[in-house]
Structure 1
Amino acid sequence: MTAAAAQEVTEKMTAGDEGLLELSLGPHHPSTHGVFRMDVVLDGERVVKLKPVFGYLHRNHEKIAETASYLGSMPYTDRLDYIGSLTNNWAYALSVEKLAGIQVPERAEYIRVITAELTRLQNHASTIGFLLQEMGASGSPLMYGFREREKILDLFEALTGSRMMCNYMRFGGCRCELPAGWMEHAKKVVAEFPRFLDEFENLLTSNEILLARTQGVGVLSKELAIQGGITGPVLRACGVNYDIRKVDKYGIYERFNFRVPLGEHGDVYDRYMVRMLEMRESVKILEQALRDIPAGPIVDVKTKLRGFKPKAGEAYGRIESAKGELGFYLISDGGPNPYRYRVRPPSLINLTVLEDMCIGYNIADLIVIFGTIDIVLGEVDR
């Protein structure tokens, strides 16, 4: 919105102009991905002001973690992004390992990469399915995405005992070894995934309704994305080449050959397309990791989790989760629990530019724009 248009809206609101409609979407609206509310001001159907309202799912995660043992907080990280519990585990484990100087065995590093990229696949497939559902499509795209997600959740259940709240990572490695036959099953799922992507793209990518609803809609400029600290597919759709797997090379990502897909316009279509392309790159990483994974221990035997007390200090560990930069900042005073525990959630940070992306577009576009941010309220509110 231009400065003149913003001034006009302000004057209308101050004067109590009956042409403006104030509307509250949520907190139980099906399109808000949980208990989230948007207070919207409309001029006809055009969005002129938007205020995100959240906090309905606040669970005091960070303060609870400061009274729990380091290991005791691992299951709580599952609840941040319930679609990506394994990547949540990894980000927290990485921060504690930096704090305590813990080394991770090579086999465990490969397992972490494999589970993280499987998480990215099922997250993006679900996100695109939900996006099409919110665009008014029938249930087919969502059901296709969920069909593939179920295959990956079967792998998670076989490995961790749980489909969503996995609690699998440990400081210095992983909780348990891969069960018999798991590798073969994983290779089969990964080998079949490109066929699903081909079918998905044939169905969606050049669909004239999808193009009309997404191209030039919800544009986020490269400059605003950088200034707002936006990360993940939302940032890369603006053309910013920033992926923590490449920047930090955490774990063993420097061993894998993959590229970082970028958009050009920063609109809804680019955010859709970046996720489609990222799934193809995740398949490449998985093929290499499943091929090269070595034998050996899955946890650092020198790490004693009972009575774990890292030396006084601070550390920040971060990863490229499916939604963006997920980080944990820890301060230790030498005791059995963190003195300070702070989460850097991508869902919350990416949500801060929602108003900028929606102003000037219609309310029907608002729902679609919001869907491409890909938030989970457990991560926003914590």
Structure 2
Amino acid sequence: MEITVGVGAGARHLGVDRVVDLGPLHPSAHGAYRLRLTVRDDEVITAAEPLVGHLHRGAEKLFEVRDYRQVLTLANRHDWLAAFCNELAVALAVERMTGMEVPPRAQVLRALLCELNRVMAHLVFLTPLTGARDRDAVQAVLEEASGGRIHFMFNRIGGLREDVPAGWVDRVREALAAVDPGEVPGGLAGLGVLSGDDALAFGVTGPIGRASGVDFDLRRDDPLPGYEGLGVRPVVRSEGDALARVRCLVDEVRQSVELARRCLDRLPGGPVNVRLPKAIKAPEGSVYTWVEAPLGTSGVHLASRGEKTPWRLKLRTPSFNNVQALSALLPGTRVADLPAVLGSFAVVVGDIDK
């Protein structure tokens, strides 16, 4: 669209808005999404449209032809940085449908492993921005406990696959002592502002939503048994800009380190799972469960017809909602500031194209 300011001899021609496609990434990457940007001649973005669905995985249909044990194998793959939390959300749905009681030791270990998973995930996004260090130390103790580096497959319906190894608790303490989320860089203030109203309208959750003043954290507002009494206090800011988002991630890493230490201090003895029947069948009905995953609310709606496979298993993934908010926060951003803004806006594409 051509823009002209003024009339007659004093008129100035500002040129034509350009539509620029940022992406999609190469199909061999983990995922692909495209941003369709409208850019003025002065290199300011005036409109942004996230385009998703390039590599749809069809996970929700694949769940319907697998029994409940097998579903967990796929449930941790849509957000590979939140694999443990994703497994847990599905396991909780089946446990609540069947009325299964999970042993106390497994409950506390689940909370501990969720916080270790959160630290690891946040450090992935922070390392390029703040120089965060020692993600590998956290990765090592998660791998030692589960045997998996990315897809942990450590949750089981009724608890965990097995207990943690001897001496693991001490090694977790050492790993937590080494975590350093780094220093928040300057130059991010005022960039990519997402208002609280827009965050609520798009259903944005997690640290991105809390950076815009959305005071919602399931660890406090609907805690799992392992989180009860831990004293979770969500990290909430009101500025909604790139600086607030990075600060939220940094502060949440520090908070998760402290929560993990509290879990270690209160870890009870006893079994970590229950004896299961040969075939698990959820009774007819439906249930919705949710957990506070690293990037926000991860929900599972399970509908059953009393068979050993789910009739419907619908995922509510945080990145799918969060990425839509780019259409609200990118207008007004200079193209030169786009890398910093997108770097502060943490999403996982597999979580979008579930």
TM-score (norm 2): 0.92
Residue 289 of structure 2 aligns to a residue whose secondary structure is strand
Match of 1:80 in 2: 78
**Number of aligned residues:** 343
Matched, 1:228 2:225: no
CA–CA separation in structure 1 for the residues paired with 2:254 and 2:135? 15
Matched, 1:190 2:176: yes
Residue 66 of structure 2 aligns to a residue whose secondary structure is coil
1:37 to 25, 34, 42: 34
Residue 317 of structure 1 aligns to a residue whose secondary structure is strand
Match of 1:280 in 2: 254
CA shift, 1:250, in A, is 1.6
CA shift, 1:33, in A, is 7.9
Residue 225 of structure 2 aligns to a residue whose secondary structure is coil
Asked whether the equivalents of residues 62 and 342 of structure 1 are also in contact (C-alpha less than 8 Å), the reply is yes
* CA-to-aligned-CA distance 1:333-372 (integer Å, 9 cap, x gap): 0011111110000001001110110001112323322222
CA–CA separation in structure 1 for the residues paired with 2:258 and 2:137? 18
1:67 to 40, 61, 65: 65
1:155 to 137, 141, 147: 141
Match of 2:103 in 1: 105
Match of 1:295 in 2: 269
Q: 1 or 2, which has the higher helix percentage?
A: 1
Match of 2:329 in 1: 357
Give runs of aligned pairs for residues 1-382 of structure 1, distance below 5 A: 19-28=16-25, 34-44=31-41, 45-130=43-128, 132=129, 141-142=130-131, 144-145=132-133, 148-193=134-179, 196-197=180-181, 200-201=182-183, 205=184, 210-212=185-187, 214-301=188-275, 303-304=276-277, 306-382=278-354
Structure 1 residues 224 and 33: CA distance shift in structure 2, 3 A: farther
One-letter code aligned to 1:126:
V
* CA-to-aligned-CA distance 1:5-38 (integer Å, 9 cap, x gap): x9979xxxxxxx95211211111279x9842211
Residue 86 of structure 1 aligns to a residue whose secondary structure is helix
CA shift, 1:274, in A, is 0.9
CA–CA separation in structure 2 for the residues paired with 1:372 and 1:356? 15
Asked whether the equivalents of residues 91 and 328 of structure 1 are also in contact (C-alpha less than 8 Å), the reply is yes
CA–CA separation in structure 2 for the residues paired with 1:7 and 1:155? 58
CA–CA separation in structure 1 for the residues paired with 2:328 and 2:216? 21
One-letter code aligned to 1:317:
T
Residue 252 of structure 1 aligns to a residue whose secondary structure is helix
Match of 2:8 in 1: none
One-letter code aligned to 1:259:
R
One-letter code aligned to 1:288:
R
Structure 1 residues 380 and 247: CA distance shift in structure 2, 3 A: same
One-letter code aligned to 2:108:
Y
CA–CA separation in structure 2 for the residues paired with 1:166 and 1:222? 35
CA shift, 1:64, in A, is 0.7
CA–CA separation in structure 2 for the residues paired with 1:250 and 1:292? 15
- Structure 2 unaligned runs (5+)? 5-13
CA shift, 1:252, in A, is 2.2
The alignment yields a C-alpha RMSD, in angstroms, of: 2.1
Q: Which runs of 4+ in 1 moved over 4 A?
A: 6-9
One-letter code aligned to 1:211:
G
